Amino acid sequence: MKLSVPGFNLKNWVGMWVNVFVVLVEILLLARVFFKFCFTAAGGSFFDWLNATTDTALAPLRGLFGSSAPAPGTNWYIDWVALFAMAAYPVVLYAAVSVALWLGRRK
């Protein structure tokens, strides 16, 4: 017996949640890059929360780049790992969804 709910499409539902996840991760990483660039030495509960939250997403990518430091002669800090993650995570997630959809069509 196949259970069916009118108006519910699993592919659309999964795609929507992948989009929501990608947008949230991109917003958090963009905020991290902006605040690290503009306010390198900033402290406070929001900055600590933002760094702790995004460190989890950046942990798998830490080995790709050396340790980051402010640009010579400035206080500007460019978080290369976060910038790379902003490009890599959407590509990987959308590729995984595309492969899953392709495998679903092969059956």
For 26-49, write each residue's pLDDT tens digit: 999 999 999 888 876 667 788 889
Amino acid at 17: W
Q: Is pLDDT above 90 for 107?
A: no
The per-residue pLDDT for 8 is: 67
Cα(7)–Cα(26) distance, rounded to whole angstroms?
30
The per-residue pLDDT for 87 is: 94
Dihedral of CA atoms 72, 73, 78, 79 in degrees, nearest 10, equals 60
Q: What is the mean pLDDT of the chain?
A: 82
Q: What is the pTM of this model?
A: 0.77
